Amino acid sequence: MPSFFLAWQYVKNHKCQSLAMVFGIALTLYLPLVTHQLINRFDVSIHERASNTPLIIGAKGSRFDLVLHGLYFRSKVNNPISYADYQDFPEADYGPAIPIYAQFSAKGYPVVGTTVDYFHFRKLRIRQGKTMKLLGDCEVGAKVADQLGLVPGDTLMTDRENLFDLAGEYPSKLNITAILAPSNTADDNAVFVNLKTAWIIAGIGHGHDDQNSTHLSTVLVKKHLDFTQKNLGTFHFHGDPKDFPLSAIIAEPQDEKALALTLNHYQQNARLQALKSLKTVQEMMDMVLRVRQFLNANYTLITTAMLILLGLIITLSRQIRKKEMETMFLLGCSRRAVLSLQTTELLILFAASISMALAMTVITLNMVNEFLRRLTG
């Protein structure tokens, strides 16, 4: 007890030296903890969704971009495919397929055009409200609803793609019919509409008396598009529906043979590619693992440097306290008592360092968890 009291008083009276040691030890502990946890959490979250999504079909190009779009709707597809590509998919031979068109957003959240099959495929349930049935209806993910304070009966405006393009696509006011139950996936951060509504948002179709407009000088400027009971029957599309865009197709082969046939079918296609979600994600994670190896190598260097620094601090501390130790010997303190005092001081500093490292790790992981929730749900 006297050793602890004396050690604590010394730590308090030498704050700068003590803080330097605490921070140095904490940093040495913090770096491997955070690196390991971050990569593991990202690995688990991204693998889980990929393992539940057998194949993603889209235009040839970046494999990673296509898979991330199909899984998380996070980036626009530069080369959309057509609705005809979905219609040509031989479901009878290969298994079910689900179209996706996710090129727009509402309040920063992706607006996903799809079919009712997607909700069955992802096992999504409605927490509040009823299934969308009409043009302009939407079902909102749980986190979107919680963040924006939305309930069934509210409306949600899509984001304008180009603020300065008055002739381009203009925002659409979607009617919220349902709030989805939390699924802890990317679907919690999405707004779902049917394909026809998504195409209308893209400007492929329109209705009469559907624009909320305002006069700007002598020019009539459209503010947004409304979906009302009055104008629903007037909506129509321009062009051949087979040419309407999709961003990706999710395929669920019924067995390994169907999977092999599907992959072989698209290997011979000049425009399209079929990707195994899990395999592509594993390739991405291999890149991440190489980053982890690089960080580990650097961490070894940092740890070595920090240990040298700690050794110097401890050695310097002993030199500074040399006269103090001699005084303690003159006062009758034994070497054992002095060693006990120094050991207690180090234990206090190590305890403070561990606490600081854990606190820093928890804060970092909480910040990263929020990022992962936004990215992967």
For the stretch 89-101, pLDDT in tens is: 988 788 899 999 9
Q: What is the mean pLDDT of residues 179-198?
A: 94
- Long-range contacts at 117-120 (CB < 8 A, ≥ 24 apart): 118/192, 118/250, 119/192
Lowest mean per-residue pLDDT among 125-129, 194-198, 299-303: 299-303
Q: What is the mean pLDDT of residues 177-201?
A: 94
CA end-to-end distance (rounded Å), the chain:
51
153 Rama class: left (phi>0) / alpha (psi -120 to 50) / beta: left
Please tell me whether residue 318 adopts helix, strand or coil conformation.
helix
Residue 180: CB partners within 8 Å, gap ≥ 6? 124, 125, 126, 127, 139, 140, 141, 142, 145, 187, 188, 192
CA pair distance 322, 328, nearest whole angstrom: 10
Please tell me what DSSP assigns to residue 158: P
Lowest mean per-residue pLDDT among 112-126, 173-187, 347-361: 347-361
Lowest mean per-residue pLDDT among 73-82, 235-244, 306-315: 306-315
CA pair distance 373, 108, nearest whole angstrom: 15
* Residues 128-145 pLDDT 10s: 999 999 999 999 999 999
Q: What is the mean pLDDT of residues 325-342?
A: 70
Helix H segments across 189-276?
195-201, 256-267
Where b means 16+ CB within 10 Å and e means fewer, 120-129 reads ebbebebebb
**Do 115 and 109 contact (CB within 8 A), yes or no?**
no
Q: Is the pTM of this model over 0.95?
A: no
Domain ranges in the chain? 2-45+286-376, 55-252
pLDDT at 143: 94
Residue 240: CB partners within 8 Å, gap ≥ 6? none
In this predicted structure, the answer to whether residue 219 has a pLDDT above a threshold of 60 is no
pLDDT at 347: 82
Confidence class for position 221, pLDDT limits 50, 70, 90: very low
Calculate the average pLDDT of the chain: 82
* Residues 229-245 pLDDT 10s: 888 888 888 889 999 99
Q: What is the mean pLDDT of residues 247-275?
A: 91
**331 or 249: whose pLDDT is higher?**
249
pLDDT at 371: 64
Strand 191-194 to 109-114 pairing: parallel
